[in-house]
Amino acid sequence: MKIVSAEEMRAIDRTTSERWGVPSLTLMENAGAAVAEYVLSHHASAERIVVFCGKGNNGGDGFVAGRRLHEQGKKVQVVLLANPADLRGDAAVMFGKLPDAAVVVHSSEELKRDLMRPALHGDLYLDAVLGTGFKPPVSGLYAEAIAAMNASQIPVIAVDIPSGANADAMAEQSRTIARADAIVTFTAPRPAHVFSSLTSGATFVAGIGSPEEAIVSALQLNVITARDIASLVGPRPAESNKGSYGHVLVVGGSLGKSGSVAMAGMSALRAGGGLSTVATPKSVLETVAGFHPELMTEPLPETDAGTISTSARDRIEELAKGKSVIAIGPGISRHPQTSELVRNLVAKLELPMVVDADGLNAFEGRADELNGKDRTLAITPHPGEMARLAGLSIAEVQKDRLGVARRFAREHKLIVVLKGHRTLVVRPDGEAWVNTTGNPGMATGGTGDILTGMVAGMIAQHRKDAFAAVVAAVHLHGLAGNVMRESVGEHSMVATDLLRGLPQAFRRTQNAAKEKLVCWGA
């Protein structure tokens, strides 16, 4: 789903009316109706609802939501934080359609009076004070209203965006912002909906009448949703066989690090790959083979340190024949011979490839040798590995994650999966997709190896759309972590828990793709 700037959102609304003939009043009516529908479906027990409204179009959305909820039998109190005479355009029209008079507040002093307490008593608050067109900071009466909502124990649903937030921000925000237990926004998210922690709950995106052709953006930025990957996780044809879903070759492992390559090999299968072969040093093959009976294994020549030797090159090239994709790096070590082998394989093998962990560290200071031109090459670095590849500090990477990932993807013509909070998946042309699944419990050894195998497994199944396969793997990986958080918590989660969570992650994705509202964070 495309992410658009606040200015682009205004242009989308304008174009929808001017080119496609959808009146702006209809867009506002649909927006308010979507908020009301959300309240009725997710907060059905809330009987008394207080709607805080500003004088702009965000307030207009609130007027509609209040009217719609009133029509459904809810006790609604609209609190207008402005003089009704100051309302203009569509907001003024919608204010005139309210069934009951709003409580009008002209000043901070009025908001604090004891006489206001009955009006502010409710089971649910709707925040329709300031929308995505607002530029911080907020002050005066609106700031007092935000403070009142934040001080209460009543759940708050933000209409479009929490009041006071900068919609175009791509980082956390510390200014005066209304708290939100959920957000209902419209048409397409703005950057802050994805990059800022604006809500403790879910963000929902409702279509309100803009056709897909009207939703254009120069940001080259998207958020991954279940709908985006639904076609890759749907039911399989009845005539399927294991050959239908590809054969993954995983190259890695070393003495003391056999678990990494075993997890990568197994996660390729859990992601749906038809076959998975792990090629690893012969001294650790028994350990890898014992990890799971579904894994096939191949022994490789090794160094005295128990890592894969350069003499394994011919054998690996032979094994690669007929495979759908190769994943290289998990547990492979930084032994000089092994690093040389990795560079040689990446340069020579033409089949789709996923490179991770010490496979990436083999290119420290030699990133010019990583090139995905005319083939599928995906790398999955964490910030430290990205820093070594790009010749930057970790702090520099973290300060500009999107810019660093985009530059590297464009310069090296490959897919970059920059892991971390809001993992980024970037195409060779620089277009980026932001992942919202996952949690801090996944900050444990081995989860990256699980992702490597999943990426390879998804590419094996969907070779004609490899980038979409990578996007799907990243989303499902984080979702599996969310599934397991519910049973084991964040503190006790280990990497192999994700393998147990993947089946439910697939089911949840399939179900979410059918929902009327697109959402994340649920």
Give helix 466-488 / helix 497-512 axis angle, nearest 10°.
Answer: 110
Mean pLDDT for 93-114 is 85
Per-residue pLDDT at 522 exceeds 90: no
Per-residue pLDDT at 80 exceeds 70: yes
Give the HSE-up count for residue 390: Cα atoms under 13 Å, Cβ half-sphere.
28
Residues 472-494: tens digit of each pLDDT:
999 999 999 999 999 999 999 99
Residue at 86 is within a domain: yes
Both 11 and 75 in one domain: the answer is yes
Both 325 and 410 in one domain: the answer is yes
The residue to which tokens 């059905």 are assigned? 44
Residue-level pLDDT at 115: 61
Both 200 and 301 in one domain: the answer is no
Confidence of residue 107 (pLDDT cuts 50, 70, 90): confident
Q: Is 137 exposed, middle or buried (0-12, 13-18, 19+ CB in 10 A)?
A: exposed
Structural domain containing residue 443: 245-514
Residue-level pLDDT at 39: 98
Phi/psi of residue 276, nearest 5 degrees: -145, 120
Please tell me which residue, 194 or 102, carries the higher pLDDT value: 194
Per-residue pLDDT at 111 exceeds 90: no
Mean pLDDT for 111-125 is 82
Residues 11-59: tens digit of each pLDDT:
999 999 999 999 999 999 999 999 999 999 999 999 999 999 999 999 9
Both 333 and 449 in one domain: the answer is yes
Residues 153-211: tens digit of each pLDDT:
999 999 999 999 999 999 999 778 999 999 999 999 999 999 999 999 999 999 999 99
pLDDT above 70: percentage of residues in the chain: 100
> Please, what is the end-to-end C-alpha distance for the chain in angstroms?
17
Count Cβ atoms below 10 Å from residue 73 Cβ, excluding itself.
9
Residue at 236 is within a domain: no
Order of strands, sheet of 103-104, starting from the edge strand that comes earlier in the sequence: 103-104, 75-80, 48-53, 124-128, 156-159, 182-186, 203-206, 518-520
Residue at 225 is within a domain: no
Residue-level pLDDT at 466: 98
Length of the chain: 522
Both 152 and 29 in one domain: the answer is yes
Number of domains in the chain: 2
Both 173 and 251 in one domain: the answer is no
Confidence of residue 347 (pLDDT cuts 50, 70, 90): very high
Both 339 and 465 in one domain: the answer is yes
Report the CATH number that the domain containing residue 451 is assigned in CATH: 3.40.1190.20
Boundary (domain end) residue, out of 197, 217, 237: 217
Average pLDDT, the chain: 96
Residues 275-334: tens digit of each pLDDT:
999 999 999 999 999 999 999 999 999 999 999 999 999 999 999 999 999 999 999 999
pLDDT above 90: percentage of residues in the chain: 93
Both 58 and 170 in one domain: the answer is yes
Residue at 237 is within a domain: no
What is residue 277's three-state secondary structure?
strand
Residue-level pLDDT at 294: 96
